[in-house]
Structure 1
Amino acid sequence: MDVQRYISSGIIESYVVGLLSSQEASEVEATMAQFPEVRAQVEACRLDMESYIGLQAITPPPSIKASILARLSAEEEEAANGPSTDPAAPAPAFHMAHGLMGGNKPLRHVVDAKWRLVAVIFIVLLIGSLAFNYVYLNNYSNLKGKYDALLLAQARLTKDNESYQTKLQQYSDELALMRDPNFQPIRMLGLKGHEGNIATIYWNAKSQDVYLLSQNLPQPAADKQYQLWAIVAGKPVSAGVFTVSNMAKGLQKMKSMVGMQAFEVTLEQAGGAAAPTLSQLFVMGKVGS
């Protein structure tokens, strides 16, 4: 091999700046191992290149970012679609191998600046993405918590509103019944020992419907229950049991009756009795009184 011709061919400079293919670079490295002159020339070229770059290195202008990104995009498009025929297209990598790009800036400096810029852009985007994700997740968690709380409050308000609407309708119906002239109110007052206890019967002579309003009867024991009796032909007839808890406030429908002379209420065992316990007679009222 003519070592001097090999050295002057320019392949060593191309090897130093990294423009050779992997196969060509392997051939140069094999030649370096065989010929010390070639190795010495490679090292000298590398030192010269580094010295030159150190002397000529300058901070790239801000416009280099757009230029590099445009050049990279053009090279990717060329790799995918073939060489560009546009005269305004960025210079191919072959021309950059001869040492200059975009003026008199050394190739290695531009390449290093390019990758430094790409690395900086990537890091900035990564940090921005992480910060955005952190803020977004925090905001999402806070908003989701508030949204769930609003849904719960809305469900509670809806339930309460339905309950209020039901009670309002119940009160409206009861008021209409009390004002109905077909219903006769029969006031039952407390007997001896139960003074102050009051209950009222609303009886419809046409339909025979009977409703009871417990106004002031004491809360009985858990195993006791009040029972309404209608006195028909002098004999007590059960009109059913009822409760006086807060849940039972308002009119309670009892058994329909006809021919009553009076109504009375006794306290019996839960479920009612076949005959009234007269010792537990609380209130009484006569029909037509």
Structure 2
Amino acid sequence: MDIKEYIESGILELYVAGALSDKENQEIYALLLKHPELLNEVISIESVIVKLTAAVSPTSTKHLFKAVKEKLGLNKETPVRPLHKPETNWFSYVGWAASLVIGLGLFWFINQNNELQEQLQTVETDKDLLEITLEKYNNDLTTSKQLITFLRDKDIIAVPLAGQAVSPDSYAKAYWDKKTNTVVLDVQGLPEPPKGMVYQVWSLTLNPLTPTSLGTIDRFSTDENKLFTIKNANASEAFGITLEPAGGSVSPNLEQLYTLGVVETS
């Protein structure tokens, strides 16, 4: 489509004046949404009309119709005149009829333009939401790729954590990278903790049994993937997860030991 040729054709002026059919208006409206150059041209035409009409009437439709009525003498008392053949001033009537048409056309265009602006605002809002969604998707994708790379590292130690007496069906898994002192903990197999309680992760040495807290899982309910990264610089021989009061405990409550797994040594 040749934008310049379309603009020079004069059809946009007819669109602004409201002189086109509904079908033509809809076609041009669709083009305005696709081509910003056409929209800018329509806005420019509107601006010219507003400037031309501003000198003789306010932009409010209420005042516009009031001004037309005043010009036509409809707000004044009609004086009594002697009977005689009236002289018809067709030029005056045609001029005021044209003014009324332009005023109504401008009123229609302003409404159409407001709808167009609302449509464009909706498009911009949808575009922003799409960009946010794509950004989140890209971030999630990047995180997923990093996690896959992490799990496939040959030096990663995978430690299954089996369910214990308080919850035999529970399970979890720890992926420990000794080089970075990082543990990725998959707790998808744990039930939702009761209100006011949190899961706490422990690093254990077995002889003698010495627990060291690695922290609490505070975002268990809000994290859909149930994957958590924690730091562990300890010489861990096992990992355990207990249910503790919110804020965590100094030492584990072994009666609430949900999962336990021993680090296999090669």
Name the TM tier (shorter chain). 0.5 to 0.7
Contact 1:210/1:254, CA 8 A, preserved across alignment: yes
Q: Does 1:237 align with 2:224?
A: no
Higher helix share: 1
Between the two proteins, the alignment pairs up a number of residues equal to 176
For 1:249, what is the secondary structure of its paired residue?
coil
Corresponding residue of 2:225: 249
Q: Does 1:258 align with 2:231?
A: no
**Equivalent residue letter for 2:243:** L
Work out which of the residue numbers 95, 98, 102 in structure 2 matches 1:125. Answer: 98
For 1:271, what is the secondary structure of its paired residue?
coil
1:247 CA drift (Å) = 2.1
For 1:244, what is the secondary structure of its paired residue?
coil
For 1:260, what is the secondary structure of its paired residue?
coil
Distance 1:222 1:147 in 2: 46
Corresponding residue of 1:277: 253
Contact 2:174/2:185, CA 8 A, preserved across alignment: yes
1:66-85 matches, cutoff 5 A: none
The structure 1 segments of at least 4 consecutive aligned residues displaced by more than 4 Å after TM superposition are none
Q: Does 1:287 align with 2:263?
A: yes
- Structure 2: segments with no counterpart, 5+ residues: 1-86
1:14-29 matches, cutoff 5 A: none
Q: Does 1:139 align with 2:112?
A: yes
Post-superposition CA distance 1:180-236 (Å, at most 9, x none): 112111110101241221111111123322221112111112311101111124211
Contact 1:217/1:244, CA 8 A, preserved across alignment: no
Instruction: Judge which range, 245-254 or 219-228, deviates more.
Output: 245-254
For 2:120, what is the secondary structure of its paired residue?
helix
Distance 1:265 1:212 in 2: 10
Corresponding residue of 1:227: 200
Post-superposition CA distance 1:31-58 (Å, at most 9, x none): xxxxxxxxxxxxxxxxxxxxxxxxxxxx
1:244 CA drift (Å) = 2.1
Distance 1:208 1:128 in 2: 79
1:89-128 matches, cutoff 5 A: 116-128=89-101
Contact 1:230/1:257, CA 8 A, preserved across alignment: no
Bigger radius of gyration: 1
1:152 CA drift (Å) = 1.9
Corresponding residue of 2:150: 177
Corresponding residue of 1:216: 189
Query: What TM-score does the superposition give when structure 1 sets the normalisation length?
Result: 0.56
Q: Does 1:204 align with 2:177?
A: yes
CA RMSD across the alignment: 1.9
**Equivalent residue letter for 2:111:** N
1:250 CA drift (Å) = 4.5
Contact 2:163/2:258, CA 8 A, preserved across alignment: yes
**Equivalent residue letter for 1:273:** S
Contact 1:239/1:257, CA 8 A, preserved across alignment: no
Distance 1:180 1:250, change over 3 A: farther
1:153 CA drift (Å) = 1.6
Post-superposition CA distance 1:134-190 (Å, at most 9, x none): 220121122122122222222222222222222222212111111111211111010
